[in-house]
Amino acid sequence: MTRVLARVLAFFRKRALDEDLDQEMAAHIELAVEDSLRRGLSPEEARRQALAHFGGLEPARERHRDARGLPLLDSILQDLRYAARTLRHDAGFTIAVLLILGLGIGVNTAVFSVVNTVLLRPLPFHDADRLVWLEDTLGDADGHIDLSSLTFSVDMYEPMVRYNHSFEGMAAYNAFFSQGDYKLLGRGEPERLTGVPVAESFFTLLGVQPVLGRSFAHEECQKNGRKAVMLSYGLWQRRFGGNADIAGQTITINKDAMTVVGVLPKTFDFGSVFSPGTHVDIFVPGVMDEMRDQGNELAVIGRLKPGATVESAQAEFHALAPMIRQVHPDWYMHVDSRLRSLKDYVSGKLRRSLVALWCAVGLVLLIVCVNVANLLLARSAARNREFAIRGALGAGRARIVRQLLTESLMLAGGGGALGVGVAFALTRFVAGSQTIAVPLLGSVRVDGAALGFALAAAVGAALLFGLAPAFAATVDRTSDSLKETGRGASEGKKRATFRASLVVAEVALACVLFAGAGLLLRSFMRLLDVDLGFRPSQAYALRLDYIYGNQATMNAYYREVLSRVSAAPGVESAGITDALPMGQNRSWDFLPKGGTWPRDNQPAFVNMVAPGYLESMGMHMRDGRGFDWHDTDTSEPVMLVNETFARRAWPGRSALNQVIMLSPKVSRRVVGLVANVRETSLEAQSGAAVYIPITQTSDLAEVQLIVRAKLPVDAITPGVKAALRSLNPNQPVRDLQALQEIVDRVASPRRFFAMLVGGFALFGLLLASLGIYGVISYSVARRTKEIGIRMALGASTQEIRNSVVGRTLRMALIGIGLGMAASLAVARLIGSLLFGVSPADPATFLGTVLVLGTMAAIAGYLPARRAARVDPTIALRAE
Amino acid sequence: MPDPKLDLLQGTLDVMVLQTLQAIGPLHGYGIARRIEQVSGDQVLLNQGTIYASLVRLQQRGWIDAEWGVSDTNRKAKYYSITRRGRKQLAEDTAHWQRLADVMTRVLALTPEGENQ
């Protein structure tokens, strides 16, 4: 043990110890000389004998170092120094390799960080593997699932909690919270906040501890209980300066004085888990008795007891359903629930996309390795003589392989370091972009796992790209290499074939990547071309206050708002709705008159809209009329239906003047037919939907003003805000939100993946072209003499050029052929990620062939031109 | 021609150095090397330089100490002396070598069976 320590110390005190030894050896020689002089030898002879006896100062020094220090580490350092020297010598080569590796490892590390955060790591909650997501199993026959069909009513939630034996605990939040639902007054500018009503057990169940104060108490979650609120960390910092005194203080929200009971930790980001793309500011107690009559609104989670599994809990809940149904015989709909792990709910939809992304980026790394291997091969061919000389001087094959691997590891290390930098930049960018609706994206970091991954990627890459050249360098027989006379000699045939096959592999890999990216990008384009049923461009939404009062008061208010806003400069039309498309849409059951409950129920999305809504959204009337201000609570109840509803309820008949029952006592007459609108996503066909005039109901989810502008948004904003303030000076006015933004957010995951894979494909394409260019131009350089001879024998520049380009294209075509075969297989694998594009999309594949072929032709043409310019007299004389 | 000199067995040099230091007391590298050569009757092939690897090894193990001093001829030299742990080690090594030598002697004394000389 002391020996090891002594050795390590000695390793670091090399210089001092060497000097000490030198002095000691000098003394030794002098002592020996003195001895000999005493025996009567001449001074010269005495010194000669002393040195001869000593047996060489340098070997003694070496042996001394070996004995006292860490000889293996010494020789590794020596290798490293040597590698650094040779790499510095070849600065251009080194920089190229470092850049390629840095980008390759960087994007891989970044993608790993994303995959790790979203897919691999457990959710950021206590013992998150035991958390289960429950959803209702409503939704129409075509699988149109609106939020109402996935959530539970209080009357269903409570018996589930009471009777189940699978869960340690259950919790819920109101899934119909909406952006800017709460209004913070006092303490500066009024501000709209987004808040989520949560059940008493919510934070306890997730294991989230407030950083300040406490969670909601039982009495705060009762009807008419103390008003309480919890702040998100972000709001606390932004609005209250992170002041620790805030706990226990009272703030005014929606006219109510509420006590701030706690502040949630920074790590708790509700939006990024449960509602990607939204930011939540506050949490309020979800009072069950207040939500009891509001239908399906609760999103429910549970924590499994030890020993219970998702499957066993699912079985129990299937069995529970009829029992719950018996408690509520008045319910007509079927009662059931579907269970899956919370993790699956949050990121399950993205698993395929992420895996595809991971594979794509892995391909990139593979291409990078092949490329670097190729560069190293070219370089090692030029270094053949160096190795031959070292071999002749006694360096064993293993030693040379080790030297080459050291160089590779050094390159990979540098590339890895650069890659970590790239990964940091990329993840920062991804985590900071708030417009991508991918869950947990905000918490993507380059963490320890990612660094480990980068290290593994670097070492793996070094072995992959380093081994081939290392062995290639040593198979050539030493004597042959020494005989070769540098430039004039042709490259070994075996090695040329090897390099060509590397390029073929590179082209094939790039081809797969390019075709895959093409399919994903085309899917994204198709998505943008979808007819949404409304025109998002130039349309803006703005959250308004609820208005309380009787229907006549409300109608007067809505009418006044719309007339003032419409009069604002640059505004073309204005309307009101209670639900934006792609948002938290709700659905009700409707019964066309003459049908019977529950057989003829038509579940449909329901929207409460004001006159002017259709125009300002840019929706299309197909038949009948829209709403006007004459539709009031004293006139006949009316509604609009969309085409899907009409087709389903009255196939082959006109929808106009049909009567629909909302309940046994309430009915409405259809006065108009509107074109379908995509309500839930861009991909899904429209479901059935109905529209009810806002002037005949007070059952609004929220109040959204829709403005269609003739001028840019900046030009209309002041006018719109002024109009709203003139009505209600206390109204906090957020900025106008472009409907395009909503559409973009819905399309953002697809765009995110398509853009990333597209970027990877371009990088791969570039590398493949570089590979082709490198191999061809190298072979042209090596064959200058041969080309000179051919030209001297009468070959035209045209022929020389064609032969080089031809060789390139042959290589590229083999690669493209192989790549196409692989791409077709890969395309089938990613089939479920495509939209509106067949996996065998001819345009994509034709485009891939053309692009890769063209790049190959260009990459080959440049050296070909150089070959054609060879002057035979110079080429033949040069030696 | 004299007999070719003996190659030193692995590890033997260390024992010789320890024994020399125990017998004679503090000595510099040259002195140790000379003494071994003399004692062996110049039978041992010793590149004197190799003594220093052995010395540093013994020093790192804590079996010998080193100190710069001055020789009889007033020359600065590094003097080595055996430590207590070194003496213990030497005793063990000596016992080991004795046993090995005994065994070797006996084995080499074996004669082919049935072939009495």
Q: Do B48 and A54 touch (CB under 8 A)?
A: yes
Q: Do B56 and A2 touch (CB under 8 A)?
A: no
**Which token pair is A744?**
């973009």
Nearest-angstrom CA–CA distance, A196 and A637: 33
Q: What is the pLDDT of residue A603?
A: 80
Nearest-angstrom CA–CA distance, A788 and A522: 48
For residue A489, what pLDDT band results from cuts at 50, 70 and 90?
very low
What phi and psi, each to the nearest 5 degrees, are found at residue A668? -135, 150
Q: Do B60 and A3 touch (CB under 8 A)?
A: yes
Across A351-395, the runs of DSSP E, i.e. the strands, are: none
Nearest to B30 among A28, A63, A64 (CB): A28
Q: pLDDT at residue B114 above 60?
A: no
Nearest-angstrom CA–CA distance, A608 and A542: 16
Q: Do A67 and B77 touch (CB under 8 A)?
A: no
Q: pLDDT at residue A802 above 70?
A: yes
Interfacial B residues in 81-110 facing A (CB < 8 Å) = none
Q: What is the pLDDT of residue A109?
A: 95
CA distance A21 to chain B (A): 8
- Per-residue pLDDT reduced to its tens digit, B61-88: 889 999 998 888 888 889 999 999 999 9
In a mutational test of the A interface, the residue from B28, B30, B74 whose CB has the highest number of chain A CBs within 10 Å is: B30
Give percent of chain A with pLDDT exceeding 90.
40
Contacts of A66 in chain B (CB under 8 A): 53
Tell me how far CA of residue A811 lies from CA of A437, A494, A818, B106, in angstroms: 43, 16, 11, 75
Q: pLDDT at residue A300 above 90?
A: yes
Contact between residue A635 and residue A671 where contact means Cβ atoms under 8 Å apart: no
Which of the residue ranges A58-72, A134-148, A312-326 has the most confident prediction, judged by mean pLDDT? A312-326
CA distance A46 to chain B (A): 15
Q: pLDDT at residue A133 above 70?
A: yes
Q: Do A7 and B60 touch (CB under 8 A)?
A: yes
Contacts of A49 in chain B (CB under 8 A): none
Q: What is the mean pLDDT of chain A?
A: 86
Give the DSSP per-residue string, B6-27. Answer: BPPPTTHHHHHHHHHHHHH-SE
Could you state, in order of their start, the residue ranges of all structural domains in chain A?
Answer: 2-69, 138-335, 350-529+745-877, 545-730
Residue A443's nearest CA partner among A434, A451, A453 is A434
Contacts of B13 in chain A (CB under 8 A): none
Size of interface A-B (CB pairs under 8 A): 81
Q: Do A55 and B34 touch (CB under 8 A)?
A: no
Sign of the Cα pseudo-torsion (A317, A321, A322, A325, in order):
positive
| Bridging pattern class, strands A282-285 and A195-198 | parallel
Nearest-angstrom CA–CA distance, A600 and A611: 30
Residue whose tokens read 């939204």: A278
Q: Which amino acid does the sequence have at A33?
A: V
Q: Do B28 and A53 touch (CB under 8 A)?
A: no
Largest CA distance in chain B: 65
The pTM of the full predicted model, rounded to 2 decimals, is: 0.76
Q: pLDDT at residue A35 above 50?
A: yes
Could you state, in order of their start, the residue ranges of all structural domains in chain B?
Answer: 12-109
Nearest-angstrom CA–CA distance, A146 and A135: 12
Nearest-angstrom CA–CA distance, A147 and A583: 9
Q: Do A28 and B28 touch (CB under 8 A)?
A: yes
Q: How far is CA A328 from the centre of its chain?
A: 45
Contacts of B17 in chain A (CB under 8 A): none
Q: Do A27 and B34 touch (CB under 8 A)?
A: no
Nearest-angstrom CA–CA distance, A389 and A405: 19
In a mutational test of the B interface, the residue from A54, A61, A62 whose CB has the highest number of chain B CBs within 10 Å is: A54
Residue A762's nearest CA partner among A360, A416, A374 is A360
Contacts of B77 in chain A (CB under 8 A): 24, 27-28, 31
Residue B49's nearest CA partner among A773, A96, A65, A774 is A65
In a mutational test of the B interface, the residue from A28, A33, A34, A37 whose CB has the highest number of chain B CBs within 10 Å is: A28
Nearest-angstrom CA–CA distance, A403 and A473: 11
Number of alpha carbons in the 13 Å side-chain half-sphere of residue A569: 7
Residue whose tokens read 């066909």: A685
**Which token pair is A824?**
């077709």
Nearest to A55 among B28, B47, B60 (CB): B47
Nearest to A21 among B47, B48, B52 (CB): B52
Helices (H), A383-492: 384-392, 397-432, 448-475, 478-483
Q: pLDDT at residue A500 above 50?
A: yes
- Per-residue pLDDT reduced to its tens digit, A390-437: 777 766 777 777 888 888 888 999 999 999 999 999 999 988 877 788
Q: Which residue has the higher pLDDT, A177 or A139?
A: A177
Q: Do B57 and A2 touch (CB under 8 A)?
A: no
**Which token pair is A149?**
């069909």
For residue A93, what pLDDT band results from cuts at 50, 70 and 90?
confident
- Per-residue pLDDT reduced to its tens digit, A633-672: 899 999 999 999 999 888 889 999 999 988 878 899 999 9
CA distance B105 to chain A (A): 32
Burial A241-267 (b: 16+ CB within 10 A, else e): eeeeebbeeebebbeeebbbbbbbeee
Q: Do B30 and A63 touch (CB under 8 A)?
A: no
Q: Residues A749-762: what's their mean pLDDT?
A: 91
Q: A60 to chain B: nearest residue by CA?
A: B49
Q: Which amino acid does the sequence have at A197?
A: P
- Of A69-83, A421-435, A803-817, A855-869, minimum mean pLDDT range: A69-83
Q: Do A63 and B50 touch (CB under 8 A)?
A: yes
CA distance A40 to chain B (A): 17
Provide residues of A within 8 Å CB-CB of chain B. 2-3, 6-7, 10, 20-21, 23-25, 27-28, 30-32, 34-35, 53-57, 59-60, 63-64, 66-68
Q: What is the pLDDT of residue A73?
A: 78
Q: B45 to chain A: nearest residue by CA?
A: A53
Contacts of B65 in chain A (CB under 8 A): none
Q: What is the pLDDT of residue A488?
A: 40
Q: What is the SS3 assignment for A111?
A: helix
Contacts of B47 in chain A (CB under 8 A): 53-56, 59-60
CA distance A502 to chain B (A): 50
Is B28 an 8 Å CB contact of chain A?
yes
| Bridging pattern class, strands A602-609 and A689-693 | parallel
Q: Which amino acid does the sequence have at A110?
A: A
Q: How far is CA A459 from the centre of its chain?
A: 25
Tell me how far CA of residue A219 lies from CA of A72, A225, A285, in angstroms: 71, 6, 10
CA distance B88 to chain A (A): 17
Q: How far is CA A707 from the centre of its chain?
A: 33
**Which token pair is A537?**
């461009």
Contacts of B29 in chain A (CB under 8 A): 24, 27-28
Q: What is the SS3 assignment for A380?
A: helix
CA distance A77 to chain B (A): 21
CATH class label, B12-109? mainly alpha
- Of A37-51, A778-792, A798-812, minimum mean pLDDT range: A778-792
Contacts of B75 in chain A (CB under 8 A): 27, 30-31, 34
Q: A54 to chain B: nearest residue by CA?
A: B48
Q: Do A31 and B28 touch (CB under 8 A)?
A: yes
Nearest-angstrom CA–CA distance, A775 and A782: 11
Q: What is the pLDDT of residue A296?
A: 83
Contacts of A30 in chain B (CB under 8 A): 75
Residue A133's nearest CA partner among A313, A375, A354 is A313
Number of alpha carbons in the 13 Å side-chain half-sphere of residue A409: 13
Q: Do A66 and B53 touch (CB under 8 A)?
A: yes
Q: Do A68 and B73 touch (CB under 8 A)?
A: no
CA distance B117 to chain A (A): 44
Sign of the Cα pseudo-torsion (A745, A749, A753, A756, in order):
positive
Q: Do B57 and A35 touch (CB under 8 A)?
A: no
Nearest-angstrom CA–CA distance, A317 and A156: 12
| Bridging pattern class, strands A298-304 and A131-136 | antiparallel
Contacts of B52 in chain A (CB under 8 A): 21, 24-25, 60, 63-64
| Bridging pattern class, strands B27-28 and B76-82 | antiparallel
Q: A33 to chain B: nearest residue by CA?
A: B30
- Per-residue pLDDT reduced to its tens digit, B14-67: 899 999 999 999 999 999 988 888 888 777 767 888 888 889 889 888 899 999
